[in-house]
Chains A and B, each alone.
Chain A
Amino acid sequence: MIRFDAVTKSFGGRKAVDDVSFAVEPGTVCALVGTSGSGKSTLLRMVNRLENPDSGRILFDGVDIAGLAPVELRRRIGYVIQSIGLFPHWTVARNIATVPRLLGWERGRVEARVSELLDLVGLEPEIHAQRYPDQLSGGQQQRVGVARALAADPELLLMDEPFGAVDPLTRRSLQESLAAIQKRTGTTVLLVTHDVEEAIRLGGTIAMLEHGRLVQAGAPAAVLAHPASEQVARFFGGPLLGLHLLQVLNVGERTDFSAAPAADGEPIPAGATLEEALARMIADGVAHLPVLDAANGRRGTLNLTDLVGR
């Protein structure tokens, strides 16, 4: 969907993005991580041409975006930012309708799409459509921001620390909504975040930038299991990196299904993370959990030692 090809961009002699090459596959979520000033936002903003690379190419569906008109390109790409940037003089409905209206959709189609999107992001059309942004909570505003970005069914969604400004509980709920929406729509997402948990939770792949250079890219489990450098390991938790690893592995991968369950109690689903399994063991004071793999109709047992490896 998106291919960065030796992309470099400097601001005042300092290289913000330095010779970055990687690809984001269609229908996946790629989390772009790194510390502040690592160049991740700049890289994101080059995709919809809010910034232009000094050298290198960015291909969107195989086409070099340098040859596309910025305004048309941006209408094909959803854009969500941390500070949300809703238009304060427009109602929620009008905000969501921004891109469809720019594209000249007819009225009925726009209205239907607005209701559909409010539903999708978990807001109620009858209650929220005619409100103004300043009448919504921060979390609701960002739901509207996501709805606005998705309004014209973009092929790609760019998100720049979208949930960085809301409280942890709201952030968790927004992340869950986003994951569900992404699963349903199949939209490709490029997400900038400095929140490790968010990257692990949402990212199908993680790409880490350090001083403008790409230092590692891959599936969360691979990155966490084999960090490419000291910095990557430190970013993903340093001594606590192993705990993050528990978040990306699921129970089914470590369960012994060969024998009948040896443990009693409520079984844990095979799709749960090892982190959840560990939490259950600690809370219940047990070293073995029954596992139910509903998809394959299997039952098994997860032992505390399985968390380390099998």
Chain B
Amino acid sequence: MTPGRRQAGLVRLLGRPVLWVGALFLVLTFTMDRIAPHLGFLFPPGTRLVYSRASFPELVASHAMLTGLASLVAIVVGLAAGVFATRPAGRDYAATLEMLTAVAQTFPPVAVLALAVPAMGYGAAPTVLALVLYGVLPVMGGVVAGLRSVPAPVLDAADGTGFSAAGKLWRIELPLAAPIILAGVRTSVTIGIGTATIGSTVGALTLGSPIIDGLSGSNPSYVLQGTVLVALFAVTVDLAFGELEALYHPRR
């Protein structure tokens, strides 16, 4: 590679906001406890400046685990439901499925938590459940919209050339639906990262923990720390999905 081309590549890389925002997110995660003590002038005197119940890397890791697990389940369920709703066998259930997932999303996650705690106890489990219920709709919506966007002549040709039902789904329909599916997953995951904060009201360890503690203890410093990190987390992941979408052009 020539120096000129390397330079051009570097410039292109630096032009990607995902790198900047992601780097800022990581740096703040690891240095928050050192920066916060210098920000006393922002808050009323006597405010405790550094959240100390857990370290920020711990909070981020736990937050990422919860949303990652919930997203994975939501993607699997949403994909399965979306594929089923667009198959000949499932077409009759499409409206019911879409209504069910819509209801699941209308249900406020806080209410899901409140109802789930008696059954599942405090902590991560009810949080993951709430996030899954909340995250399935955008995924399924994307899958259904994506699969329905595949042009009818393409489907007719796939049938006529002798694809099996599974072969047609796997090699023709899903690749062509992928951009719309990816957009649905992006919405689901990004919303999930923000929503996970409320899991801290039932004892899950997330970036919501400093926010909830800060709100109940009248400590704006804690609230600010949690808010900034969770916002950067969500924006980073959203931008990363944007890069992924730009990378994948099935129709070029």
Asked if chains A and B come from one complex, the reply is: yes
B-binding residues in A (CB < 8 A): 48, 50, 71-75, 79, 81, 83-89, 98-99, 102, 132, 134, 145, 148-149, 158
Flag if A74 contacts B153 (CB, 8 Å): no
Decide yes or no whether B160 CB sits under 8 A from chain A. yes
Q: Which residues of A contact B158 (CB under 8 A)?
A: 85, 87
Closest partner residue, chain B, to A151 (CB atom): B161
Nearest 6 pairs of A and B residues by beta carbon: A85-B157, A79-B160, A83-B153, A74-B162, A85-B153, A75-B162
One digit per residue, 1 when the CB lies within 8 angstroms of any chain A CB and 0 when it does not, for chain B 201-227 equals 000000000000000000000000000
Q: With A102-B167, A134-B252 given, is the CB distance from A87 to B157 under 8 Å?
A: yes
Question: From residue B146, how far is it (CB to closest CB) to chain A in Å?
Answer: 13
Bound complex: CA A158 to CA B176 (Å): 26
Flag if B252 contacts A132 (CB, 8 Å): yes
Question: From residue B166, how far is it (CB to closest CB) to chain A in Å?
Answer: 11
Flag if A89 contacts B161 (CB, 8 Å): no
Question: From residue A150, how far is it (CB to closest CB) to chain B in Å?
Answer: 12
Question: From residue A25, how far is it (CB to closest CB) to chain B in Å?
Answer: 23
Flag if B162 contacts A89 (CB, 8 Å): no
Flag if B156 contacts A50 (CB, 8 Å): yes
Question: From residue B164, how far is it (CB to closest CB) to chain A in Å?
Answer: 5
State which residues 106-129 of B face A: CB under 8 Å.
Answer: none
A-binding residues in B (CB < 8 A): 151-164, 167, 172, 175-176, 250-252
Bound complex: CA A102 to CA B156 (Å): 16
Bound complex: CA A50 to CA B156 (Å): 9
Bound complex: CA A297 to CA B178 (Å): 65
Closest partner residue, chain B, to A103 (CB atom): B162
Bound complex: CA A148 to CA B157 (Å): 10
Flag if B176 contacts A88 (CB, 8 Å): yes
Question: From residue A235, how far is it (CB to closest CB) to chain B in Å?
Answer: 26
Flag if A99 contacts B162 (CB, 8 Å): yes
Q: Which residues of B contact A132 (CB under 8 A)?
A: 251-252
Flag if B159 contacts A81 (CB, 8 Å): no
Flag if B250 contacts A79 (CB, 8 Å): no
Flag if B162 contacts A102 (CB, 8 Å): yes
Bound complex: CA A31 to CA B111 (Å): 66
Question: From residue A105, how far is it (CB to closest CB) to chain B in Å?
Answer: 13
Flag if B250 contacts A81 (CB, 8 Å): no
Bound complex: CA A88 to CA B154 (Å): 8
Q: Which residues of A contact B162 (CB under 8 A)?
A: 71-75, 99, 102
Question: From residue B165, how far is it (CB to closest CB) to chain A in Å?
Answer: 9
Question: From residue A86, how far is it (CB to closest CB) to chain B in Å?
Answer: 7
Q: Which residues of A contact B161 (CB under 8 A)?
A: 74-75, 79, 98-99, 102, 148-149
Q: Which residues of B contact A149 (CB under 8 A)?
A: 161
Q: Which residues of B contact A87 (CB under 8 A)?
A: 154, 157-158, 172
- Complex A-B: 17 CB contacts under 8 Å: A72-B162, A74-B159, A75-B162, A81-B157, A81-B160, A83-B153, A84-B153, A85-B153, A85-B155, A85-B157, A85-B160, A88-B176, A89-B175, A89-B176, A132-B251, A145-B157, A148-B161
Question: From residue B213, how far is it (CB to closest CB) to chain A in Å?
Answer: 50
Q: Which residues of A contact B172 (CB under 8 A)?
A: 87
Bound complex: CA A146 to CA B153 (Å): 15
Q: Which residues of B contact A89 (CB under 8 A)?
A: 175-176, 250-251
Bound complex: CA A251 to CA B157 (Å): 41
Q: With A74-B159, A79-B157, A99-B162 given, is the CB distance from A85 to B167 under 8 Å?
A: no
